[in-house]
Amino acid sequence: MATMTSSHTFQPLLHRIAAEIESMPGRGRPADYIPALAAYDPHRFGMAVAELDGTVYGVGDWRQPFSTQSISKVFTLALDLALEGDTLWKHVSREPSGNPFNSLVQLEYENGIPRNPFINAGALVVTDRLHTQTGDAARTLLEFLRAESDNAELSINKAVAASESAHGNRNAALGHFMASYGNIGNPVPVLLDQYFRQCSIEASCADLALATGFLARHGIRADGTRLLTQSQAKQVNAIMLTCGTYDAAGDFAYRVGLPGKSGVGGGIIGVVPGCCTLCVWGPGLDERGNSVAGVAALDRFTTLTGLSVF
C-alpha cells in the first residue's frame, strides 16, 4: 500500500478534488423512491478524511448531516459480529449478489439465506439478530455512532423513517419471505421499524469518517477499546470491497481500490487500513444507487495519493 509523505497534504488535496467535482457535468439524480430524499440538491458536495488519531479534514458540505441509509449496514454488521461472532454467517452469506439490492429472486434460490449483509435482505437479517442481542438495534447503532464521532447530537430523522415505512413494501416482502424460512427471529413489523429507524440516522461526512475509524485501526474504537478482532475487521473491510456498492462493486474496486459502502442518501464511506477513513456526500445517484460525485471524488483521492489496498 502506498503512503503519503505527510498528512497535512490532505487539506489542499480535498480542495483540489472539490474544485474538480464542481466542474463535473451530470451529477445524477437523488433517490426519488423515498420522497423525503428526493428534495436533496444533486449539486451539494462534501468530503472528509479522518486520520487514525481523530484529526479530521474536510471541504464543502462536510459538516452537513444527511441520511446515512445503507451506510448504516456497516456498523450494524460490526456490532452484531462483535456480539455473536461467526454464528452470524449461518444466517447470511458473504458473496457479491450481482442483482439489485432489493431483489427477491436470489432469496428463493438460496432458501432464505441472503447473499451478503449489504443487500437489503442481508441487512434485515443482521438488524434482526442485533435487535435480539440488544433489545433495540437502532438505539444501539445510534449510541455507537454518537460515541465514535464524538457527536451527541446525531439523531434519527422521524420524517425519513416514516417515508421509508410508507414506501417499504419490498422490504416487508423480504422480511416475511425470510421469516417463512425461519431466518428472522423477531416479528417482521418490529424488525421493519428497527430497520427504517437505522437507515434514517442523519450524520455528516465528518461524523461518518470518524465513526468508521475502527476499521482503519484494525478493530480498535476511538476510546482505545477493541470492538472487533483484527481478523473480524479484515472480514468487514473485505465484504465492503466486494459487496459495498451494490452490483457496482467490481467497478468501484476497479476505480477506487478501497473498501467502501454507499447509501442512497448520497454518502459513501471508504477505508484505508492503517491510515485513514473517508466519507463523501453527493446526493445525485447513478442508475445503481451510488453517488456520482462521491465515486468520482474517491477515484481522484486514490489516484492522487496512491493510497489503495492494491
Catalytic residue among 59, 256, 264, 292: 264
- Distance of alpha carbon 18 from alpha carbon 7, whole angstroms: 18
Query: At residue 43, what is the residue type?
Result: H
CA-closest candidate to residue 293, choices 271, 262, 253 = 262
Q: Specify the DSSP element, H or E, that contains 54.
A: none
Alpha helices (runs of H) in 135-212, residue ranges in sequence order: 137-149, 158-166, 169-180, 188-199, 205-211
DSSP state of 291: B
195 annotated active-site: yes
DSSP state of 86: G
Catalytic residue among 67, 70, 97, 200: 70
73 annotated active-site: yes
264 annotated active-site: yes
Question: What residues contact residue 47 under an 8 Å CB cut-off, 6+ apart?
Answer: 14, 17, 18, 58, 59, 60, 62, 205, 278, 279, 280, 281, 297
Catalytic residue among 200, 246, 292, 295: 246
246 annotated active-site: yes
Catalytic residue among 57, 59, 72, 73: 73
Q: What is the CA radius of gyration of the chain?
A: 18
DSSP state of 33: S
40 annotated active-site: no
Catalytic residue among 74, 97, 195, 291: 195
Q: Which residues are catalytic?
A: 70, 73, 195, 246, 264
